[in-house]
Amino acid sequence: MKEIISIRKANAKGHIKRLWQNREAVSALVERQFRARFEKPLVGLSWMLLQPIILALLFAVFFGALVRVPSGNIPYPAFVFVGVALWQGVQRALSESANVFESAAPMLRQTSLPRLAPVLANVAGASIDVIISLTVAVFVGLLFAIPLTLKLVFAPLFLLLAFLATTGLAAALGGVCGAWRDLRQTIALGLQVLMFASPIIYPASLIPQEYAVLYAINPYSGIIEGLRWSLLGGSMPDIGLLLISTGSSIILLVGGVWLFTKLEGRAADAL
């Protein structure tokens, strides 16, 4: 084994190769995320569900019952639960990853693990939350007499897209906020903006036709609309717009990982 230490150029390919070589370490980090949630299964699960349930309830009261946001044939509580379930996970993964050079610092100071590993573990951990909350969303749908259909088979596809887009965004934020730490203060605001730019509390059909393409560039717009369709039914999202969201998910993944490898050296100086 020979390690050559020199100035590293931003080398996403080399980074991914090192991730693969260290796959056992990466899986250990992911497992740690699992354990942190299920060490005491009942306690962990109730904390995990409390947040989306309360939030969906609040939205159902304010936007569903009072403002009467249209949600097509789907009862608003079930409608909003799907969006909230995904968004909770995205939010958690992104805010944890923006902080990764601080929170994973002890580990990054001790091992020469690829620095993308803790970012991946954050996103993987948040995926558990999303899958569990979405299961609850399906139950909420059943409460309102919305049966599960075969469209369910498309759900993993949208979840995979969400995973790719979120990994890219998490890597980008991790690199940028690691290199310029004051930018972390903008994360909460940015997440709020992104939430309103995604069809979480309202359906994408409310967006005027001339902005539909622009709106679809936000990958979460296609992902959430698609998830909602596959779990609860309703009108199928436009294929063209879905393809735009798919494309931007992939661009986000590639661009985010590239940005991370470009900035990680600078961020590591403060370790």
In the complex, the residues that contact other proteins under the rule CB under 8 A are 1-8, 22, 24-25, 27-29, 31-32, 35-36, 39, 106-113, 179-183, 265, 268-271
> Tokens 């690199």 identify what position?
175
Q: How far is the CB of 88 from other proteins (least distance, A)?
A: 22
Q: Which is nearer to other proteins, 212 or 268 (CB)?
A: 268
Give residues with Cβ within 8 angstroms of 203, minimum separation 6.
69, 70, 71, 72, 79, 225
Which residues, including other chains, have CB under 8 Å from residue 105's CB and lie 6 or more apart?
Answer: 271
Residue 151 or 181 with smaller CB distance to other proteins: 181
Taking the least distance from each CB to other proteins, the nearer of 8 and 13 is 8
Whose Cβ is closer to other proteins: residue 36's or residue 50's?
A: 36
Query: With contact defined as beta carbons under 8 Å apart, do 12 and 264 qualify?
Result: no
Q: Are 163 and 30 in contact (CB under 8 A)?
A: no
CA distance 41 to 196: 33
Tell me how far, at minimum, the Cβ of 38 lies from other proteins, in Å.
12
Residue 270: CB minimum distance to other proteins, A:
6
CB of 119 to other proteins, least distance (A): 16
Sign of CA dihedral 214, 123, 98, 254: negative
Nearer to other proteins by Cβ, of 155 and 177: the residue is 177
Closest approach of Cβ 124 to other proteins, in Å? 15
Asked if 253 and 168 touch (Cβ cutoff 8 Å), the reply is: yes
Rounded distance between C-alpha atoms, residue 85 and residue 139, angstroms: 13
